[in-house]
Amino acid sequence: MRHHDLIVIGAGSGNAVIGESFADLDVAVVEEKWFGGTCLNSGCIPSKMLAYTAHVIETVRDADRYGVEARLGEVRWREIRDRIFGRLDAERAEGRQGRLDADHITVYEGTARFTGPRQLRIDTGDGTVEVSADRIVVAAGGRPALPPVVAESGLPYETSDTVMRIEAPPRRLAVLGGGYIAAELAEVFHAAGSRIVIVEMEPRLLTGQDESVAERFTDLARTRYDLRLGRTLTGLRGEPGALTLTLDDGTTVEADTLLVATGRTPQSDRLDVAAGGISTHDDGRIVVDAHQRTGVEGVYALGDICSPVPLKHVANREADVVAHNLLHPDDLAAADHTLVPAAVFTRPEIASVGSTEQECRDRDEDYVVGEARYQDVAYGWAMEDTTGFCKVLAERGTGRLLGAHIMGPQASLLIQPLVLAMTRGIDATSLAEEPYWIHPALTEVVKQALLGLDL
DSSP-assigned letter for residue 87: H
| pLDDT for the residue numbered 55 | 97
User: Is pLDDT at 125 greater than 90 in this prediction?
Assistant: no
CA distance linking residue 451 with residue 258, whole number of Å: 46
Q: What architecture does CATH give domain 2-142+265-327?
A: 3-Layer(bba) Sandwich (3.50)
Domain residue limits, the chain: 2-142+265-327, 148-262, 348-451
Strands (E), 155-218: 172-176, 195-200
Listed in sequence order, the residues at least 6 apart from 433 whose beta carbon sits closer than 8 Å to its beta carbon are: none
Q: Summarize pLDDT for 429-455 with one digit per residue, the tens.
A: 999 999 999 999 999 999 999 999 999
β-pairing, 350-354 vs 401-407, is: antiparallel
Per-residue pLDDT band at 367 (split at 50, 70, 90): very high
User: Is pLDDT at 399 greater than 90 in this prediction?
Assistant: yes
Please state, rounded to an integer, the average pLDDT across all residues of the chain.
97
| pLDDT for the residue numbered 45 | 98
**Average pLDDT for 43-59:** 97
Phi, psi dihedrals of residue 403, rounded to the nearest 5°: -170, 160
Do you know the residue count of the chain? 455
| pLDDT for the residue numbered 188 | 98
> pTM for this structure?
0.96
Strands (E), 316-421: 342-344, 350-354, 367-373, 389-395, 401-407
348-451 to CATH, choices 3.30.300.90, 3.40.50.300, 3.30.390.30, 3.20.20.80: 3.30.390.30
CA distance linking residue 317 with residue 305, whole number of Å: 14
User: Is pLDDT at 89 greater than 90 in this prediction?
Assistant: yes
Please check whether the domain covering 148-262 is classified as CATH 3.40.50.2300.
no
Q: Give the chain's end-to-end CA distance (angstroms, integer).
A: 65
**Average pLDDT for 89-109:** 97
| pLDDT for the residue numbered 65 | 95
C-alpha dihedral, 143 to 313 to 400 to 388, nearest 10° = -80
Q: Which residues are catalytic?
A: 439
Q: How large a percentage of the chain has pLDDT more than 90?
A: 100
CA distance linking residue 357 with residue 359, whole number of Å: 5
β-pairing, 119-123 vs 105-109, is: unpaired
User: Is pLDDT at 25 greater than 90 in this prediction?
Assistant: yes
Are the folds of 2-142+265-327 and 148-262 the same? yes
| pLDDT for the residue numbered 38 | 96
**Average pLDDT for 194-198:** 98
**Partners of 144 in the β-ladder:** 264
| pLDDT for the residue numbered 438 | 98
Instruction: Give, in order, the Cα–Cα distances in Å from 440 to each of 39, 142, 371, 374.
Output: 35, 43, 18, 12
